[in-house]
């Protein structure tokens, strides 16, 4: 297929939420684009940076709710660019990590549409930085694994088991709210019950919350506002204690202290929730 117009598609990463984490190139493209097709998770603060003259459309899918099919998004990208427009496909985080960019790239190539990928700060990096968690550490973790919770099934236990015995950090995107199920899966994969975990909600935004627990107590974790990210591994011990909703002594927790920990966490959560209202 030959395209006569000079339209182009930019697959742009919007980062985890804080507009100051946008790249300079991403900001320039938002200000000059003719069309912006954005994900549902892109924050309002970032959307405000789009040129008032641009056509803006939300094409996001969230929590399994699909208001628009991927094939329709592909068609919009091709059609707008084929008519000579500069199109920004704005994705939360980085477009190449759980962002369906691969499918859109295939569609653009089939239609001979010029495109460019503009990376963004992926949610794992943004959330870890916001919580003060080093995803790798010479004494705690030499491997980083990114996985999607919504794709997880019983068959994934075998995959996760190879990371349980190693010095690994497991980051679960879109873990959902069934922490009981994830706790069971981590246990089945061989993760120790006292392995630290952190649930990070709405990372890098004013609504950010961080809850630290362990694999065994993950099933009792509160349901934080989406989007959330789950970090599993010894590196969670290094989280900034001034930011987390958790007992300060958690990293040194020994077997037998579970009941006392649960009471301490409940008291901490009540205090933090009262301060937020």
Per-residue pLDDT reduced to its tens digit, 224-255: 999 999 999 999 999 988 888 864 334 443 44
- The answer to whether residues 88 and 160 belong to one domain is no
- The answer to whether residues 162 and 181 belong to one domain is yes
- The answer to whether residues 219 and 162 belong to one domain is yes
Which one of the listed residues 18, 39, 91, 94 is annotated catalytic? 39
- The answer to whether residues 269 and 213 belong to one domain is yes
Domain count, the chain: 2
- Structural domain for 75, as ranges: 8-121
Per-residue pLDDT reduced to its tens digit, 99-135: 899 999 999 999 999 999 999 999 999 999 999 999 9
- The answer to whether residues 101 and 154 belong to one domain is no
8 is catalytic: no
Which one of the listed residues 34, 40, 61, 156 is annotated catalytic? 61
61 is catalytic: yes
CATH classification of the domain holding 89: 3.40.1010.10
- The answer to whether residues 178 and 66 belong to one domain is no
Confidence (pTM): 0.81
Closest CA to 211 of 167, 164, 261, 169: 261
Of the listed ranges 62-66, 130-134, 139-143, the one predicted with least confidence: 62-66
Inside any domain, residue 28: yes
| Token digits of residue 68 | 């628009």
């Amino acid at each position: 297929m030959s395209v006569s117009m000079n339209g182009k598609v930019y697959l742009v990463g919007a980062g985890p939420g804080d507009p100051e984490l946008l790249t300079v190139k991403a900001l320039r493209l938002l200000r000059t684009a003719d069309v912006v097709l954005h994900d549902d998770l892109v924050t309002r603060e970032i959307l405000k940076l789009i040129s008032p003259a641009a056509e803006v459309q939300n094409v996001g899918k969230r929590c399994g709710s699909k208001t628009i099919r991927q094939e329709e998004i592909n068609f919009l990208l091709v059609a707008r660019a084929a008519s000579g427009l500069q199109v920004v496909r704005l994705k939360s985080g980085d477009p190449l990590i759980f962002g369906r960019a691969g499918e859109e790239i295939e569609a653009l190539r089939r239609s001979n549409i010029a495109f460019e990928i503009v990376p963004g700060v992926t949610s794992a990096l943004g959330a870890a930085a916001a919580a003060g968690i080093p995803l790798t550490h010479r004494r705690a973790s030499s491997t980083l694994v990114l996985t999607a919770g919504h794709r997880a099934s019983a068959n994934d236990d075998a995959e996760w088991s190879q990371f349980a015995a190693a010095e690994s950090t497991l980051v679960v995107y879109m873990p959902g709210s069934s922490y009981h199920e994830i706790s069971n899966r981590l246990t089945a994969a061989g993760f120790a019950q006292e392995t630290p975990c952190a649930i990070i909600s709405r990372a890098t935004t004013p609504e950010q919350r961080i809850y630290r627990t362990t694999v065994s107590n993950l099933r009792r974790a509160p349901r934080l506002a989406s989007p959330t990210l789950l970090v599993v591994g010894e590196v969670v011990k290094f989280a900034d204690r001034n930011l987390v909703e958790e007992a300060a002594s958690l990293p040194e927790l020994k077997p037998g202290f579970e009941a006392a920990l649960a009471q301490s966490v409940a008291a901490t959560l009540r205090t933090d929730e009262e301060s937020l209202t």
